Amino acid sequence: MSKLFKNLWYGLDLSRKIILNLVFFLILFFIISAIISSDDKPTVEKGVALVLQPNGNIVEQLTYRDPFEAAMQEATGQEDPPETLIYDLIEAIENAKDDNRITALVISTKYMWGSGVTKLQDLAVAIEDFKTSGKKVIAFDDNFSQAQYFLASQADEVIMNPQGGVFLTGFARVGTYFKSLLDNLEVSMNVFKVGTYKSAVEPYIRDNMSEEAKEANRAWMGDLWTDFVADVASRREMTSDDILAYINSYKESMSEYKGDAAKLALDKGLVDGLMTRIEFRDKMIELVGQDEKHKSYKQISHKNYLRAIKGPMDYVNPRSDKVAVIVAKGAIMDGEVKEGNIGGDTVARKIRKTRNNDKVKAIVLRVDSGGGSAFASEIIREELVKAQEQGIKVVVSMGDVAASGGYWISATADEIWAHPTTITGSIGIFGMLPTFEKPMNKYGIFRDGVGTTKYANPVDTGQALSPDVAEIIQTSIDSGYEKFLALVAKGRNMTRDEVDKIAQGRVWSGKQAHEFGLVDKLGTLNDAVKSAAELAGIEKYDTWFVKRELSEKEQLMKQLFGSANMQQEFTETVNQPQKPTIKTQLLNEFSAVLGELDKWNDPNHAYAKCFCSIN
The residues annotated as belonging to the active site are: 198, 404
Would you call 224 exposed, middle or buried from its count of C-beta atoms within 10 A (0-12, 13-18, 19+)?
buried
Q: Are 425 and 513 in contact (CB under 8 A)?
A: yes
The dihedral of CA 327, 331, 333, 337: what is its sign? negative
Q: Are 584 and 400 in contact (CB under 8 A)?
A: no
Quick count: other Cβ atoms within 10 Å of Cβ 180? Answer: 10
Q: Following DSSP, what letter does each residue of 334-375 receive, concatenated? A: SS---TTSEEHHHHHHHHHHHHT-TTEEEEEEEEEE-EEEHH
Helix (H, G, I), strand (E, B) or coil at 188: strand
Name the residue among 348, 346, 371 with its Cα closest to residue 554: 346
What is the radius of gyration, based on Cα positions, of the chain? 26
The answer for residues whose C-beta is within 8 angstroms of residue 299's C-beta and 6 or more apart is 48, 49, 50, 51, 106, 284, 288, 291
Beta-sheet pairing, 48-52 with 299-301: parallel
Reported for 559-562, long-range contacts at CB under 8 A and 24+ positions apart, including other chains, are 560/31, 561/30, 561/31, 561/34, 561/67
In 3D space, the residue among 434, 424, 433 whose CA is nearest the CA of residue 505 turns out to be 424
Residues facing residue 51 across a β-bridge: 106, 301
What's the first-to-final CA gap in the chain, in angstroms? 52
427-443 burial, b if ≥16 CB within 10 A, otherwise e?
bbbbbbbebbbeebeee
457: three-class secondary structure by DSSP: coil
Amino acid at 480: G
557 phi, psi to nearest 5 deg? -65, -35
Instruction: State how far the Cα of 108 lies from the Cα of 337, in Å rounded to an integer.
Output: 34
